[in-house]
Structure formats: C-alpha cells, structure tokens
Structure 1
C-alpha cells in the first residue's frame, strides 16, 4: 500500500513521505496485543502530527467518506454517546490534544494540536461512488484486506453487517458480537435517530446527516445563548447571568451541548477528550442545568458535577464579583448598587485532604517543573536565543523567550540547587512561575497571569489557549 501511494504521488508530481510507527522506540508504546485499534490510532495520529510539524503545515486532509461516517456514529452510540455523538465526524475539526498523558517530549505536541486543523473533503460521498469514480477514470487503488475481518474490530463488523454480507453467527469473537448487539439495542431505543442496523446504508447515511444538521443548528443556539448570558470575568473562567439564562428554555439535548461547550473550555482534562465533556453523560448535565436554573440565594453553595469544573454562585456588584453570602446584608447597606446574580464556572481546585496519600500526584499537577527543560536549552549554545513553550494544566501556554532572560535569572536556572516551577495561585487556579532557591529556601515570583499576560517580565508570556468556539 505504501509503495502504491508513493508511486502514484510520483506520477502526479506531489511530494510524498512514508513514515512508520516504531513500536517501543522514540517514546512510542510497545506494539499492543489488546485494544489494538485505539492504541494504534493514537500512535498513528502522533506520527502524523509530528510530520505536519516538520513540514511546517497546520492543515491535513483525511479521506473519510460517508460510510466511515456511519460507522463512527454507530460506534459512538454503542459506547453510550448522546444523540449528538451520532453526528459522526466534522468536515472541519481542530486536532486538539492527546487524550492520554505522555512524557515531556510530547507536551509541545498538545500545543501544536490546538492550532492544527483536519479537513474531510469526501465526508458526504459514499464509498461506492468513490470506487466508481476510480473505475471510470482508470485510477488504481489498494484495498486493505484487514477491513474485511469482522473479528478484528467492531468497525469491521458494523461495516459488513450494514452491507448485508455478515450475520451474527459469522462473528466468532464474543466481545465483538456483543458490541454489535449493543449498537442495535441503542438504535432501537433511539427512534429520533431514524434507522437501525437493518435499515441499509442509504437510510443510515441519511440518519447521520440529519443528526449532523441538527447539531449544527444547536451549535448556533449555544453561540447565541453564550453571547447573551456571559458577563466579563477573569481569564480561565465563565460568568453567566442567571436572569439572562432563565430567558431560555433548554431541552435535554441543547442543555447537553451548552454544558459540554463550557466544560470543554474550562476543564483541566485534555481539550476534546471525553473526560473534558462529562464523558457525554446526560445525567450530569441535567444536574448542572437544574442547579443553574434554581434561584440563587445567600445560602446557595458551589458544586461540581464532572470534568473537574466548579460552579460557584456569586453576585456581581459594582463590577466586582462577590460571594453570595453578602446577600444576607440588608440591601440599604449595600450602597444601592445594581446587583446581578450569576454562576461562575471555573477550574476545580485540587483536593488537599488526601495530600499525604497522593503527595507526588498533587505535586505533579500543581507544580509542573520546567527547570530541566529550561536549563538544558540554556546549556546548548545554539539554542540560547530559543523560545521555549510549556503547556500547564492543559489550559495555559507559558512561553519563555530565553534571549531576553536576565543573566542573573539564567545563572540561577543553571544552578542544580534551584528549580523553576509553575504553580497555581488565587481563587481561579491561575498559573504563576516561581524560582525556588534550593540552599536558602526562598521563592522568587518571576511572573503570574494578569489578564492573560505577564507584563512584569517581558521574557515570560502566559496565554489561556482554550477555545470557546464550536470547533
């Protein structure tokens, strides 16, 4: 297959690169014996993103077609996704972040992923139409024979079952047979989808397209609600006016889309991962919406209902955000200022009660050490003018311009007794960069987030990198 692609690209005069996953090398995992499809997919995506980086590109086109779209939608439903998950893949999507933690050398790839885009120009075209075009134009193509092994992946089983070339009795793997039964069970319980595994390819493509159109309209509704209800708030937070929010009626599906958009923006889980979006569990979104629409009083309490995002009832008075406990004070004594009751959504602080048991994990999350990365770069004469970027809390980019670093700070960074760490500070879990002096135990604050910038040090810049857009 690789040789065919290389030869075809050569005929067209197009640059072609072939790269291989080096299992067990260069930070790659060992070749998996279980969950092969997921592990191989992540390794393949890592390889593609690195290739884009070396080529200086931030856009890649994938060849997914309409039948791939159906398979993806059905797999998502089978795994418990809401009806919105049945929209399948987007024509244009952000690459996003890796869903599983990786060593330091891949951290910058998550930053790169937030500015890399995937386009799928063939997504509305059925596979049969693509093959017919190839036949009509005399274009050679290669068929991956592993796609016809239903016992290999659930995707293969769905593909052949929908095409009518497979029965349940043909599937030898019990787990895959059960997965297929689960997909059909979900479809039969979801009449709004409009099709099931026995409906045939055309009906399933139509059903998935319908969900996609519905999701697009819903995304526009979420954009509108946010534009009308959001109030100014600190970086890395969202403040929603309760009175404005109560002007809208949110059905369960719209509620889910609205809450997931906010959580994806604020959660310290990797952007775009299921963990950052309640794992698409509608029960948790219902809890959040119910609380948001319950009138705020002086006795209202903060709560957390997934994705490590905290919802805090507040009162906005005189442009300042106050605790709702201040509502207990008689209105006459509150200067007659206009008050707005609101919900502040922010990153949930780390729990401290188990610090003794999980001290290492808490230190890893709260004080991400960057000393090695900075000192190793400074030690290399060819890189002393470099800009080093670090991702913190999966939400902030901290950029160090080494050429502007004061010489006194550089000497401290190069000392093995000292270290530079990034720590959270303040109520909203904002980052600050600290130099810890090993021998004396002193700490020097180098920079901290102030309205998205770190003006006190021109060699350090802090940016919130999450996007609230639909993509």
Structure 2
C-alpha cells in the first residue's frame, strides 16, 4: 500500500500526515510511523494492516510530521487539536498545528452557525495546510482517505455530471499543483511551490471497518466528529447514510433533507446508469460497491498509461507551449475513454488556468469533450472546413497541414503535396483584448508590471549572495532573474524610480518577453524574449533539431544571460 503511493520524485526527508484526530488519520499516523521505524531497524514486527512490505532503503531517511488544522468552527475544535498533539507525542512523532485565521486575507469571514460551511472550510483548510507544509519543510502530505471515502467521492462526482475518468475518484498519489482546490484569487493558490509537493493516500484500498479494527487492536485513541453522521448537513453525509442502508433512494433520508441534496442524489442515480466500465449498485452491499469503485480507479490508471503511449505516437515537434498532433496517430485510438483522457491531459498541459484546478481541465464538461473529440477525429480537418475553436480551459484547437517546410493553417491557394500530414495544433487561447480588460477592469494575466518586486530584490541583493527573483507568468512559464548579474544601467533606472520592468507576450504562442521602459530617453527596450526548457518535466521530448521555425516573431529574438524563461507545466498524468 505504501509503495503504490510513492511520488515520482521519490520519498522526501519529511512526510506530513494530515491529522484530524479521527480514526482514519490516527490509524494512518500509527501505521506510517511503525513502517518507518521498522525500516530504520527500530522494530522487527510487521505493521498490521499492511500486507505488502516492499521496504526500500530510500524510505529509511524519511521522518514524519503530524499536521493538524483547527477549523475553529465548533466549541470542541481546540480540544480536538490538543488531542492530535497528544497522540503524536505518544507515538514519538513531531507535531505542528495551526488555526484557520478566519477574516484575515485571503480567508473569508468565519461561517456563521446554520450557514453552509463545507466549501469554505475545505478551501481554507487546504490553504492553511499548505502554508504549514512550507514552514515544516514537508514535501509529501499523507491523507487518511479510505475505500469508503473513495466510494462517496465517486458518487458525488457522478452527481455533478463527471465522466468515468472523474468517477474513478481520488488518486493514490497526485501532485499538489498550483491550486489543490478550484478557487479564484489567492485563497487555495499554491503557485510554483505546489508543483513540487505531493499528496498520497495509502489507505485508499482499505475499508473503514478495517481501520476501526486496527485502532481497536492497537488501542489507538481517536475522536469522533458527530457532524459526520448528520445527513442534512452535507451531500457526503447523505451518501454515507444511504449507503449504510444499501440504497440511493433519497426518500430514505426522511423529510428534513435540503432540496439541493435530494436533487444531487437523484443526479447520482442518473450518472450510475451511464457507466460503461463498471456496474455500481448499492443494493449489492458495501463490499461490492467498494470493489466496483476500486476497479474503476484501477481502470483509470490503466487509461492514463495508455494516454502516455498515445502521446508518443501522435505528437510531432512543435514550439514550446504548444502541441502538434497528427491525425495519422489519432486515428489509431479507438477507445472513447482514452480519447477523453487524452484531451483532458492536453488541455491541462496547455491551459492558462492553474495546473491542477478543474478549470485547467475545462471543467471536464461532457459537451466540450464531445465537441473536441468530434473535431480531432475528423479526417482532413481543413478540407472538411473545420475552423479553430476553443472549448474550455483557455486552450485553442487549430486544424493544420504540416508540409516539408512549413505548417499551414488554411488550405487557401495550397495544393496538398505527398507527405503532408493532417493534424491539430493546440495552444493557449488568445488573451482578452486590451479594450475589454480596461473597460471591465479585469486583471491582465499577460501584461504584468514587476517593477516593485524587482526593485525590492535589487535592494536586498547586497545582503543575499544568492538572490534570484522568480515570476510565474500566465501560469505557464517561469521567468528567473539573477539579481547579481543585472546590468548597472537597468539597476540604476529601476532603483531611481524612473524606469519600469514589465513582462508582455511575444509570438503567436504567447511566450514571455521582458521589457525595460526607460524614462530618459522614453523608450521600450526588449531585454529577453527566448524560451528554454531543460527541467525534464516532459517525458515526451522530441528531437528539437527537426522542429520548424514556427514562432512567427516579427522582431529579432533577444537573450539576456541574467534572465531565463522556461515552460513549467508537466504533461504527465500526475
């Protein structure tokens, strides 16, 4: 169970455990602690609850940190946090806790009694947890979600219209991402640091009953949150109650259930009837339902592996921040689930939205996926009259013909030649026009003034020999400045307050261009407009020597040795 959750980057020196004090997180903390102690030779006994014991020497250097969030929404919340600290101390595990600072930006005001709180509490919890991870040096966070949680999550997603890929539920291991919860603004936003942090769920194949049995056998003390058993409070609670009755008939919950929960339950039943890969019937009992959802989870992992193979077959060389797909490769993909997963992977890779957010997947809208699939699997898309289109996620899909010397976006005045390749070029959707940005007072994601940040770093560089400034631009590129190599004239102009430093888009692919606006004489000077990529985050890299010059740059490219621009979005499933 542990090794199935191993992050691609390997086990770090410090693993955090999200400790709520309940049976799930208490059991997880105990098992992980015993496992690591066993690896280090502190114990020769086998951890109960773990059948597969493939111990890696790499595990021996890892240490646990218990992390607790006090939501401050119940009178007992402080006592529950204290209990978590006590359990961690008993196990000899370092502990840290934090209280959600309701009302302090970017957190919303504290939810009032009787008002919906689930979404607000979840978003603020993730935000506060990530801040704790950074403070404690935690790169991997272990969560206590189990097989019954997975069933509830799968059903909840079906009720929201999710595809079978979404109904596969939570992943055993996933990247934290630029935002772990789908929000706009600062709350929940993790940015670049989130791309190198991970969540793991070692107990995802373990039932709740088995967790409770382990707690009883090991005399583990835990707290029980009574609100988890009140079906009128949340959709998850309602699903949990119905599954205990072996049904999804919302009338079994009585008359006190809010209308929106009843409607969601009804939508779940509709979603279940659309499933093709598995059959999930609550009447068959909890074990059957768990096994069906587990099978769906495993099939989703298999589909993602198939997508990796498809990308190797379909992808042609193209400029950074784009993807060129050949129809010849696409037409070999017949499985509709693989097609959908391929589209979602590409959308997330190229989206202007934070990596890991639902918006980066185009909100997984069925209608959008159907539209994209219909277009991509149309032979000779240009000849068929298909036009460029966007269908969510901030991604543009363009039919193209790839010739021996150039790429063509239109068949006008062009006679197809032997060897031409039909396909699709996928890239960032064009930004909102400046007039609209100004009129509607919108945030301009691609025209960014970094003067104040740059000035502050310049002022601090004498005290920090390794000073670098990093800007994540448009959620797609990382622009890094070596502050000790900034030219004297640039530094003088910025420090004096007369000059400005900005990042604007360049090329039709919207790469970052660093501009220096001088006061005397008043002019714009391009400092840097090239992009490199050697972070090895893309396992599908192709021979760049064969790439055509498709940048369509109207001005000469500039490269400054103290500035570096690189693509940061991974194409991997995780």
Q: Counterpart in 2 of 1:418?
A: 499
Contact 1:315 1:340 in 2 (8 A): yes
Q: After TM superposition, give the deviation of residue 307 of structure 1 in Å.
A: 1.5
C-alpha deviations, 1:59-100, integer Å up to 9, x for none? 111111111111111111111111221111011101112232
What corresponds to 2:409 in structure 1? 323
Closer, same or farther: CA 337–175 of 1 in aligned 2, 3 Å:
closer
| Mapped pair 1:470 → 2:470 | no
Maintained 8 Å contact 1:256/1:282: no
Residue-pair matches, total: 462
- Residue 449 (structure 1) aligns with: 530
> 1:357 Cα shift?
5.8
| 2:183 paired residue number | 100
Structure 1 residues 414 and 106: alpha-carbon distance in aligned structure 2, compared to 1, 3 A threshold:
farther
Counterpart secondary structure, 1:100:
coil
The alpha-carbon deviation at position 121 of structure 1 amounts to 0.7
From the superposition, tell whether residues 35 and 339 of structure 1 become closer, same or farther in structure 2 (CA, over 3 Å).
Answer: farther
Equivalent in the alignment of 2:397: 311
The normalised TM-score by structure 2 is 0.75
- Between the aligned partners of 2:169 and 2:437, the Cα distance in structure 1 is 44
- Cα 1:317–1:189 change in 2 (3 A) is closer
Look up the match of 1:397.
478
Shift of the alpha carbon at 1:427?
Answer: 1.0
Pairing 1:214-225 to 2, within 5 Å after superposition: 214-225=299-310
In 2, the alpha carbon distance for the partners of 1:357 and 1:422 equals: 18
Q: Is it true that 1:117 corresponds to 2:202 in the alignment?
A: no
Deviation, 1:383, is 4.7
Which residue is 1:20 aligned to? 99
| TM alignment of 1:260-339, pairs within 5 A | 260-294=344-378, 295-297=380-382, 300-318=386-404, 320-325=406-411, 328-330=413-415, 338-339=419-420
Asked if 1 retains the 8 angstrom alpha-carbon contact of 2:146 and 2:204, the reply is yes
SS at match of 1:355: helix
Q: Distance in 1 between matches of 2:141 and 2:101?
A: 22
What is the distance in 1 between the residues matched to 2:455 and 2:282?
Answer: 58
Moved more, 410-419 or 72-81: 410-419
Q: Deviations over 1:302-355 (max 9, x none)?
A: 2222212111122323354333336x3346xxxx78422221000011243853
2:244 counterpart of 1:163 = yes
Write the distance in 2 (CA, Å) between the matches of 1:447 and 1:188: 55
* Residue equivalent to 2:550: none
Aligned counterpart in structure 2 of residue 369 of structure 1, from 440, 449, 455: 449
CA distance in 2, matches of 1:442, 1:384: 32
Once the two structures are superposed, what CA deviation does each residue of 1:266-319 show, in whole Å capped at 9, x if it has no partner? Answer: 010121222221211222122112212221336553222221211112232335
1:250, CA displacement in angstroms? 3.8
State how far apart, in whole Å, the 2-side matches of 1:191 and 1:458 are: 54
Counterparts in 2 of 1:190 and 1:245: CA distance versus 1, 3 Å? closer
Q: Which residue of 1 aligns with 2:328?
A: 243
TM (normalized to structure 1)?
0.90
RMSD of aligned residue pairs (Cα, Å): 2.5
- Cα distance change of structure 1 residues 154 and 356 upon mapping to structure 2, 3 Å threshold: closer
- Distance in 1 between the 2:86 and 2:481 partners? 44
Shift of 1:125: 0.5
**Structure 1 gaps, min length 5:** none
Q: How has the CA–CA distance of structure 1 residues 168 and 198 changed in structure 2, closer, same or farther, with 3 Å as cutoff?
A: farther
SS of 1:156's equivalent in the other structure is helix
CA distance in 1, matches of 2:165, 2:233: 27
Alpha-carbon contact 2:146-2:207 (below 8 Å) kept: yes
- CA distance in 2 between counterparts of 1:451 and 1:319 reads 23
Helix, strand or coil at the partner of 1:157: helix
Question: Which of 110-119 and 373-382 deviates more?
Answer: 373-382
Tell me by how many angstroms 1:415 deviates. Answer: 3.5
**1:386 counterpart (458, 462, 467):** 467
1:176 to 261, 264, 284: 261
2:431 pairs with 1:350: yes
**Residue 226 of structure 1: which of 311, 326, 330 is its match?**
311
Higher-helix-fraction structure = 1
Aligned 8 A contact 2:437 2:444 in 1? no
| 1:258 and 2:342 aligned | yes
Q: Is the 8 A contact 2:231 2:253 kept in 1?
A: no
Aligned to 2:487: 406
**How much has 1:17 moved relative to structure 2?**
0.2
Return 183-192 or 205-214, whichever deviates more.
183-192
- Note if contact 1:276-1:307 (Cα within 8 Å) is conserved in structure 2: yes
Of 380-389 and 34-43, more deviation after overlay is shown by 380-389
**CA distances 1:157-179 after superposition (whole Å, capped 9, x unpaired):** 11122112993206432322332
Is the Cα contact below 8 Å between 1:187 and 1:193 reproduced in 2? no
